[in-house]
Amino acid sequence: MKSNRLLAGLAAALAILASPGTAHAATIVRPFAADSGDACRYGSTSGTLGWRNGATTSPLPFIAVDVRGQVTDRPTPDDPSTACRDDGYFSVAIFTAYAGSVAVDRETRTANNASASFLFTLGGTSTTTSIDRVVVQVCRHPLVTLPPSYCGKAVTYLAPPTA
């Protein structure tokens, strides 16, 4: 008798999970890359964007993006090229998540003559309704106040299709 109730409970749970109206969370992983735009490509970042959907609405909006990768500022200690000497700048990778025209989250990661790995999430809070794109840009700033900072081209990554 107990086993029949257990089986009936399992069957009911499986039926709920399999019903067409139930959405399941999914992550779609895509690569990203951006650089500082200078001749030596002193600053660069690359990795993956893991687009996570909300799993409660239709169509499924992406409510969070897991960002995994590294930011590099040259020259690094193991850099095989001596063409790019230390210029007294450090690199900053900037990640901005947007919902329409509104920036909903922003993170930065830095490196100075090194590579630094990172893993963080954009969005995913109770106030984030959706993320439709992530903009990635690498900027370089002097270790002292002069000369001025500069940035490479901002690269936009659109949310993948949900259908």
Domain with 145, as residue range(s), is 23-158
CA atoms within 13 A on the CB side of 87: 23
| pLDDT for the residue numbered 163 | 60
> Which pLDDT tens digit goes with each residue over 69-125?
999 999 988 887 777 889 999 999 999 999 999 999 999 999 999 999 999 999 987
Encoded tokens for 23: 């959405």
Give the three-class secondary structure for 44.
strand
Rounded Cα distance between 13 and 44, Å, is 48
Q: What is the pLDDT of residue 50?
A: 96
Note the pLDDT of residue 47. Answer: 98
Using the predicted structure, report yes or no on whether residue 11 has a pLDDT greater than 60: no
Examine residue 96 and state whether it is found in any structural domain, yes or no.
yes
- Between CA 36 and CA 129 the distance in angstroms is 31
**Does 35 reside within a domain?**
yes
The CATH number for 108's domain is: 2.60.40
Would you say residue 10 lies in a domain? no
Number of domains in the chain: 1
